[in-house]
Amino acid sequence: MADLTAALRSSGDTAEVRMPFTGQVLVHLPTTAVEQVTEAAAEARIAQRAWAATDVADRAAVLLRWHDAVLDRTDELLDVIQAETGKARAHAFEEVADIANTCRYYARVAAKALSPQRRSGVFPLLTRTVQQQHPVGLVGLISPWNYPLTLGAGDAIPALVAGNAVLHKPDSQTTLTTLLARDLAIEAGLPPALWQVVVGDGGVVGPAVVDQVDQVIFTGSTPTGRLVGERAGRRLIGAELELGGKNAMIVCDDARMRAAVAGAVRGAFSSAGQLCLSIERIYVAEPVADEFCSRLVAAVHELRLGAGFDYRSDIGSLAGPAQLAKVREHVEDAVAQGATVLVGGRARPEIGPYFFEPTVLGAVPPHARCFSEETFGPVVSVYRVADDDEAVTAANDSAYGLNASVWSTSRSRARSIASRLKAGTVNINEAYAAAWGSVDAPMGGVKESGTGRRHGVAGLLSGTWSQTVATQRLWPIGERSPLRGRRFQRGMTTALRALKALHRA
Ligand code: NAP
């Protein structure tokens, strides 16, 4: 593979990135100085002017070629994602499939969604009103390490097809994945200057990005999201904030047990639980709780931990020492407060420095940290509930509201529970992939899980500003002889009543 870092501007300093599987150095990344962030933004803005003038169909064609390049070079992408994140290969493949899905979707819908739309005028026939969308210009992307392809390239796709340039600060831990995805986009026909990648400490390079752009898409933790939102607010630019979660799963007494257990395993342990949509709380109906718990424990015992660049392991490593420390703290704290470890609960340094067993906790008391705080690791707690009402109340009793999952053989019962849950996505008889993969539907959180919506037409239009162009014909708005004063008032009153009657008809 060519040196991916050759595309980076260098301040002379480097950031050391270690492979989670072994703890060994993977790369010394050149970092970007703040003034170089400004240079990158200026270069991107020049490229954006020409890009915005191209036909949407031509931009969509780049996405379709990018789709093919990603699928043709899957193994290379999987190697890089695994080397940087330490996740299992199957979980890395979810990211590749996701990018192909997102490219295809936006290539299909962009032209129609971005074309001018007729709107009702103030007076029928007299006012012709059209809404047009313009790209905001330069979109800032600040993305985390846990799903580096999905949450980096995945958000660049709608921004680029809408006619924008992108100034991207990926997490230093996972910059190579971004650089490879960008290389594939350039091979597919994207002008290189349009997607600028800057590297460095989030507390320095992140604010420098926010200061340069016309809109920012931030994915990461809630505390950092607040800082980004405040800074964007001071500049009066839009901020899409995709933040943390403490996602709940509800298992009703009529759920298919085998499927619910398989869903819980996938939901709680994909990418070793370092997934924003990850299930960290399971509420099980009392009559089926014993069966669910014993099946879940048995299924977790079967999971294979491993550090291989192949499909032989089910679960990979945590991303680094900070994640391992947090997971350990949450488990030790829960146990000290009286929780029971049903399975797992130990670090596995003999496999790799940051491996931790998939862990199921029972009897977690409300004052334990993992009862309400996001763990962001392979730890899930099981709680028994008397009925659907208690399950909904417990699931909603959280500062977060990102994702939820409901398991029942009655679709109407599950849908009724879903509509009572305060979560941006609810998956019925699935953990997270059904809603995430439905890229035609908006996706995002409520409460402290964020403010933005990616995916769908909403995710495309968020990178644009709308302009209303209204043309008045035949008769002007306002007083005009002989309709002046009282006559004008009477004429308008009659017109407004007629409009209401027309709407009723
Ligand atoms: P993080 O610490 O908030 O970092 C996210 C990104 O922000 C990184 O690129 C980081 O750079 C950068 N950053 C740090 N300080 C900054 C600042 N002051 N201004 C601007 N940018 C700054 O989050 P994380 O720990 O990497 O990611 C895990 C969190 O992300 C979890 O809470 C998870 O739930 C959430 N997440 C949410 C979603 C979603 O769609 N809702 C998806 C995935 C993850 P450096 O790390 O290089 O310093």
198 Cβ closer than 6 Å to some ligand 1 atom: no
Q: How far are the Cα atoms of 246, 314, 348, 355, 407 from residue 374, in angstroms, in the given order? A: 5, 23, 22, 19, 22
Whether cis (ω within 30° of 0) applies to the bond prior to 366 is: no
Does ligand 1 lie within 6 Å of residue 450's CB atom?
A: yes
Q: For residue 445, what are the CA distances in angstroms to 210, 220, 450?
A: 21, 12, 5
* pLDDT tens digits for range 98-117: 999 999 999 999 999 999 99
- Mean pLDDT, the chain, rounded, equals 97
C-alpha torsion sign, points 180, 183, 188, 193? positive
CB distance 200 to 221 below 8 Å: no
pLDDT tens figures, 19-78:
999 999 999 999 999 999 999 999 999 999 999 999 999 999 999 999 999 999 999 999
Residues 456, 441: contact at Cβ < 8 Å? Answer: yes
The three-state (H, E, C) secondary structure of 174-240, written as one string? HHHHHHHHHHHHHHCCCCHHHEEECCCCHHHHHHHHHCCCCEEEEECCHHHHHHHHHHHHHHCCEEE
Using an 8 Å Cβ cutoff, are 178 and 153 in contact? Answer: yes
206 lines ligand 1 (CB under 6 A): yes
Amino acid, res. 176 = L
Nearest atom within ligand 1 for CA of residue 224: 3
Residue 126 CB partners (closer than 8 Å, separation 6+): 472, 473, 474, 475
Interval between CA 279 and ligand 1 midpoint (Å): 19
Tokens of 279: 């299930």
pLDDT in tens, 361-415: 999 999 999 999 999 999 999 999 999 999 999 999 999 999 999 999 999 999 9
- Whose Cα sits closest to atom 34 in ligand 1? 244
pLDDT digits (tens, 9 = 90+) for 377-389: 999 999 999 999 9
Task: Give CA angle at 205 (200, 209), nearest 5°.
Answer: 135
Query: 374 CB under 6 A from ligand 1?
Result: yes
Q: Is the pLDDT of residue 131 over 70?
A: yes
CA of 111 to the centre of ligand 1 (A): 32
* Beta strand 238-242 pairing with 215-219: parallel
Q: Quick one: pLDDT at residue 502?
A: 86
pLDDT tens for 234-285 read 999 999 999 999 999 999 999 999 999 999 999 999 999 999 999 999 999 9
Q: Which of 94, 240, 242, 374 is catalytic?
A: 242
Any bridge partners for residue 465, and if so which?
134
Q: How far, in Å, is the centroid of ligand 1 from the Cα of 146?
A: 9
Residue that has been written with the tokens 């759920």 in this structure: 255
For the chain, the residue count is: 505
Catalytic residue among 276, 374, 430, 448: 276
Q: Is 239 exposed, middle or buried (0-12, 13-18, 19+ CB in 10 A)?
A: buried
Top mutation candidate among 177, 199, 221 for ligand 1, by most atoms within 8 Å of CB:
221
CA distances from 83 to 52, 185, 232, 486, 494 (A): 36, 21, 33, 77, 71
Main-chain phi, psi angles of 197, to 5 degrees: -110, 125
CB proximity list for 274: less than 8 A, separation 6 or greater: 85, 87, 146, 318, 319, 323, 376, 377
Determine whether 276 is an active site residue.
Answer: yes
pLDDT of 505: 59
